[in-house]
A = this chain, B = another copy of it.
Amino acid sequence: MTTSEETGSGPTTDQRPGATSPGDQLRRLLVDEAPCVLMGVHDGLSARIAVEEGFRALWASGLCISTALGVRDSDEASWTQLLNSVESMVDNTRVPVLVDGDTGHGNFNTARRFAGRAERIGAAGVCFEDKTFPKMNSFFGVGHELVPVAEFCGKIKACKDGQQDPGFVVVARTESFIAGQGVDEAVARAEAYAAAGADAIFVHSRQPTAVEIAAFSARWHGGVPIVIAPTTYHRTTLDEFHQLGVGGVIWANQSMRAAFSAMRKACRDMRSSGVISGVEEEIASLKEIFALLGYEDLEREERRYASFDPPVLSTVTGGNAP
């Protein structure tokens, strides 16, 4: 696999020696992998599991974080609550995390503040979508409305102008298809967003096949990677997406949905049987959990750090000013 330095082009041509910010890493994956998969997670545990299973990038899903908090994906959680969950992901993993920033929580300024805090706590990038605030989850209901193109471009530009790390990634997501618009609108919007500075375009679709993605991809010449989330068109393979020229594939909510059904089944079985033992075989042991979270590391560190006798100071001459 060639690195971006070797190919010498695109947003990954950061020439800083040893550039390894989370954003840099995500940039490379979006261009190098074929395509890069971002596993959707909702808390520190799901993030740890995804990384343990080999995923090299994470998607901090607004839907999944909201669901874990017990609220609806309609801006019911505050933006700092969402970022607190993101902190749990970032603190516990070493792979880049792309953060779902929904519509930006207000205007260019709130979006910029969201992006700024996401960057500060170690996220690799944020993604904003071109719907009105408060939003409704794209898979629910009809009547999703888009904001004017220039308003959304301002939001993207404000974030790009404000980032500290040049590698930090800002993804622009167009909900054109969700809003019932055609490929012309989607491409026109995406081009404007890329021109405003977006590092990638997330084109969203809720069709049962990748037909809209294919139509968009065939028309796309915007110079930045395409990102998608095949929640409804889940039969398409990564190879097929690769041939469509897709750079990033978000498996947005399957982990949370797996947790959901497993928790419901366990509750139901235990409630009806009045005993735990029936589910015992189906659920992870505490030992497995302790292993993933490194309990034995802590035991070792306890021996190392609970008490430490520093080496005798070498004879120091001179005072406290070095």
- The reply to whether B122 and A109 contact each other, CB–CB distance below 8 Å, is no
| Cα–Cα distance between A275 and B277 once the two chains are bound (Å) | 34
The 9 closest A-B pairs by CB, nearest first: A44-B70, A262-B262, A195-B310, A10-B322, A70-B92, A259-B259, A154-B308, A234-B276, A258-B266
- The reply to whether B80 and A78 contact each other, CB–CB distance below 8 Å, is yes
Query: Which B residues lie within 8 Å of A302 (CB)?
Result: 108-109
- The reply to whether B320 and A247 contact each other, CB–CB distance below 8 Å, is yes
- The reply to whether B88 and A69 contact each other, CB–CB distance below 8 Å, is yes
- The reply to whether B282 and A154 contact each other, CB–CB distance below 8 Å, is no
Query: Which B residues lie within 8 Å of A238 (CB)?
Result: 274-275
A279 interface contact, C-beta 8 A: yes
- The reply to whether A321 and B245 contact each other, CB–CB distance below 8 Å, is yes
- Chain B's closest residue to A290 (CB) is B140
Query: Which B residues lie within 8 Å of A181 (CB)?
Result: none
- The reply to whether A45 and B260 contact each other, CB–CB distance below 8 Å, is yes
| Cα–Cα distance between A2 and B220 once the two chains are bound (Å) | 52
Interface string of A238-253 (1 = CB under 8 A from B): 1100000101000101
Q: Do A283 and B261 form a contact, CB below 8 Å, given A31-B322, A270-B251, A320-B222?
A: yes
How many copies the complex holds: the figure is 4
- The reply to whether B259 and A153 contact each other, CB–CB distance below 8 Å, is no
**Cβ distance A212 to chain B, nearest Cβ, rounded Å:** 16
- The reply to whether A222 and B55 contact each other, CB–CB distance below 8 Å, is no
Query: Which B residues lie within 8 Å of A53 (CB)?
Result: 264, 267-268, 271
Interface string of A119-133 (1 = CB under 8 A from B): 011100000000001
Query: Which B residues lie within 8 Å of A245 (CB)?
Result: 319-321
**Cβ distance A313 to chain B, nearest Cβ, rounded Å:** 5
A214 interface contact, C-beta 8 A: no
- Chain B's closest residue to A116 (CB) is B91
Query: Which B residues lie within 8 Å of A112 (CB)?
Result: 305
A57 interface contact, C-beta 8 A: no
